[in-house]
């Protein structure tokens, strides 16, 4: 699996660089998920804009990435999936579990919005605690 990673303060953008993505079973999935954990990433955008095909192990690795982010109270977003990949996700009924957005830009906006929302919630909680007796 060929990919690139752009790290930012709020998220890591992983862009898959092959049209056909065969994750190659559990070994490559483990390598990818170990890298996610090592990055310390809790927010990941997975850009699938050029991936025309993936296999079941690809879907499995996506679910593992999603679970890792959830465990860290982060967000995992599938960005710009192609028609075939989106169809496979929907057939597998994973669209109800995964966050899927049509573009990388909208995915970045989702992270920024989520971060802002968390900050505002924390401030509101602190403010409410001051007034509690």
Confidence of residue 82 (pLDDT cuts 50, 70, 90): very high
6 sits in the region (left: phi over 0; alpha: psi -120 to 50; else beta) called: beta
Instruction: Report which of residues 107 and 129 the model is more confident about.
Output: 107
Read out DSSP for 66-125?
Answer: HHHHHHTT-EEEEES--HHHHHHHHHTT-TTTSEEESSHHHHHHHHHHHHHHHHHHHHHH
Annotate 64-86 with b (16+ C-beta within 10 A) or e (fewer). bbbebbeebebbbbbbbbbeebb
For 39, the domain range is 3-131
Dist CA 133 CA 86 (whole Å): 51
pLDDT digit string (tens) for 9-65?
888 888 888 776 655 544 555 566 667 667 777 888 999 999 888 888 788 888 888
Number of domains in the chain: 1
Q: What is the pLDDT of residue 87?
A: 94
Instruction: Quote the pTM value.
Output: 0.80
Report the CATH number that the domain containing residue 96 is assigned in CATH: 3.30.750.24
């Amino acid at each position: 699996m060929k990919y690139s990673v752009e790290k930012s303060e709020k998220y890591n953008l992983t862009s898959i660089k092959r049209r056909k993505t065969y994750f190659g079973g559990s070994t490559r999935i483990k390598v990818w998920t170990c890298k996610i954990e090592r990055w310390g990433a809790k927010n990941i955008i997975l850009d699938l804009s050029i991936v025309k095909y993936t296999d079941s192990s690809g879907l499995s690795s996506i679910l593992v990435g999603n679970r890792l982010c959830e465990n860290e109270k982060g967000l995992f977003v599938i960005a710009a999936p192609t028609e075939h990949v989106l169809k496979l996700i929907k057939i597998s009924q994973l669209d109800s579990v995964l966050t899927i957005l049509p573009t990388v830009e909208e995915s970045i906006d989702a992270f920024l919005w989520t971060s802002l929302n968390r900050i505002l919630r924390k401030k509101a909680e602190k403010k409410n605690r001051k007034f509690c007796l």
